Structure 1
């Protein structure tokens, strides 16, 4: 009997211990389930949720409109990854900037440095020897067409004194262009410590094409013989080039040629996998793509073709406002001291977005910014800037894209004579006085 009473007193205590034990087991299970995977998630195959096109890409991918930068498709687009030889797009941009500023010319003779001649042989090169002399143009084409690393280092050293000094210039330029994830450690992309996101790489490509249209004259070259004594010309590593189609020297890769492709740059190192930044134009639409870390040389082009097919087949250009047209709420702009008190205003360029076909796009004007009154004083010249207008497009996924264009004067307005301005001032005075009296009542 006494034993039974003791057990009865212990039951609540035993029950409490069992409850604590069960709770501990449950918490431990939850902790195990919530523990992060030790693998690098950035390189894992993406799920179908963020990859509806089913791209066979291990790293990242993006598709943008080359004109507006509007993102049409993105997958891990903000993850910084090694770009391999796509790095050379920044090198090429800087060189084109130097030529544009007339600090360099295509005919400039570049002497191969010891640094360039010592470029490791584990990549594309044209086998430069120390002291070799070639024009900047020949080396640039070798860099773009053949992805020649020694040509790239030779150009970098010529521009900045050494590759490392050029790398500093690359990072300064990246900062100036707003490439937030970019960190360059070589001019070639051979070092895996160079990283950039697909989004920033597509932005760099967009800026390159916008600022230097002549880039395409070199990126679309199918084959190029660097030296007369070379047995055969180098083949452009961009196997999607439309220019490969009718080139017998490109026989082995012509099946990958894609209508409209005329750039940009391939890349490969083991850490980066096979990469490609591409661009194609059909009609008035130019697209830019980036794929990072695919499994093979051909895979990077097959996956790029999926992106381009999606862009060209599923989207169309929608012009909200045509160039040189008036907008409803700013058909005229008030000015001071002119023959007239206002000037007709029109848009300097069109306002166009890429929208999904067979859908009703949501596009609205979001801002109208006229210049301050002290800048709107006659005389006003035709096409003089009067302000800006901004429109916003919201796509079906909720992504918004804005485009701002200038409002300009559609005609000249001369400065009014002192006689006209005096009588206008008198009239304005009495109109204001009368209005003030009326407002009293």
Structure 2
């Protein structure tokens, strides 16, 4: 009996002490606002080996088989290098020795075409402007339209001669018009290559001619040659088709009569133009959807071709370098493009505004709501094998902080999610990082609501503490 009485008294003293503490804290809360001393923290990265499961995407099974395509080696390409890319995503679908710097021959003119088209786009040049041919252009040999010094032609005529007939003299004439001299234009070419992120590209002239084939008076002092990797050529082509979507107005021209007195028109060196399907000499090479871009040939480069075609809304860019004959560059290009169109499609695998499992909300301090919904800021698009839904896409997500302070505007970046997608048969893994943003605005709560919330949280914590004592 005595022991029970002692226990009851002890329990009473504890309860009285706790009640006193409760009263003291209530008085403190009413006298001063709550202050958070918690330092911001970064949530540890989360990773899943399952598919990227999002609020708007269908869940996949854990044992989903990886997507697979034939390997590039199975094509048996007879080239020094080759590459195939899908420009809207930048995804490399095929790569064979694609990063080695090689002589690109007249594919060099793609950079000249890009710069001239940019000049027109920016209003610094007009298609109708008349250009007077200088000595350098008149003395330039190789593929040409036999311009004489003092001849005058429009920018558009010279551009078509360059794009369709690979005319070296027309190319130099345009370069000199833009920059004052070919040497100054070459500096523009190399500067533009750096801005584009071309890692191997180096130009010594506007045409792609070997140094020894340039007019002696106009050769660069440094004994170097123009080089580009197949990858850099493809990236340059990507800039052309994206920045100048009207490129085919020039590159798809089958033939062009440059002067009224010319006996024959300029014939496009690109045998694969879709329009050639009815031309006896070219119909066996004509390729559905192909509308560009540029051929090239020198003794050092062999036969090269940067091609682009569009089918069913998907455009591909292919580059082959160092083939052994003029027909071979088109035969090998067909293999590369067929590989792309037969095996791949571009698919939006997740729409914008999707939620990411485990990262679908963030705590909001001092807000009318305690949490804010998080969604992705844009759609997720990958190149997938035909008929695939990207079942083995993986993701890693992280938040910049475990909480944010109100007010919080809609589309506030709170974290990121990176998706990785590996296809068997392809050397590279596709990757894309999206922002996690707030789906709606969260206003700051008034002081009275914050006060009541603080009291409620205090009592909740207090009762948890009391419960744990017994």
Residues 327-373 of structure 1: per-residue CA shift (max 9 Å, x gap): 44555667789886646645433422233667975311234567999
CA 1:334–1:147 in 2, change beyond 3 Å: closer, same or farther? farther
Aligned to 2:202: 183
Residues 221-262 of structure 1: per-residue CA shift (max 9 Å, x gap): 22222233333332221110112234xxx5422221100111
Structure 1 CA distance for aligned equivalents of residues 268 and 367 of structure 2: 59
Matched, 1:390 2:422: no
CA 1:140–1:357 in 2, change beyond 3 Å: closer, same or farther? same
Please give the secondary structure, in 1, of the residue aligned with 2:393: strand
Aligned to 1:12: none
Q: Which structure is richer in relative contact order (CA contacts within 8 A, separation 6 or more)?
A: 2
Aligned to 2:77: 55
1:136-151 → structure 2 map (5 Å cutoff):
136-151=155-170
Using the TM superposition, give the Cα deviation of residue 273 of structure 1 relative to its aligned residue in structure 2, in angstroms: 0.5
Aligned to 2:191: 172
Aligned to 2:87: 66
Q: Which deviates more from structure 2 when the two are superposed, residues 64-73 or residues 281-290?
A: 64-73
Aligned to 1:286: 315
Structure 1 CA distance for aligned equivalents of residues 464 and 179 of structure 2: 71
Q: Tell me if the contact between 1:145 and 1:237 (Cα under 8 Å) persists in the aligned partners.
A: yes
Among 110, 119, 130, which residue is 2:149 paired with? 130
Aligned to 1:399: 428
Structure 2 CA distance for aligned equivalents of residues 229 and 342 of structure 1: 73
Higher helix proportion, which one? 1
Residues 158-202 of structure 1: per-residue CA shift (max 9 Å, x gap): 222211111111111212222111111111111261111112211
Please give the secondary structure, in 1, of the residue aligned with 2:120: helix
Q: Which deviates more from structure 2 when the two are superposed, residues 395-404 or residues 73-82?
A: 395-404
Among 119, 125, 139, which residue is 1:98 paired with? 119
Structure 1 CA distance for aligned equivalents of residues 168 and 363 of structure 2: 58
Among 236, 239, 248, which residue is 1:204 paired with? 236
CA 1:432–1:70 in 2, change beyond 3 Å: closer, same or farther? same
Residues 293-343 of structure 1: per-residue CA shift (max 9 Å, x gap): 111111100110011111111223443213454444555667789886646
- Structure 1 unaligned blocks of 5 or more: 1-48
Aligned to 2:293: 264
CA 1:389–1:344 in 2, change beyond 3 Å: closer, same or farther? closer
Among 137, 150, 155, which residue is 1:116 paired with? 137
Q: Which has the larger radius of gyration?
A: 2
Among 345, 358, 363, which residue is 2:393 paired with? 363
- Alignment RMSD, CA only? 3.4
Among 313, 328, 352, which residue is 1:299 paired with? 328
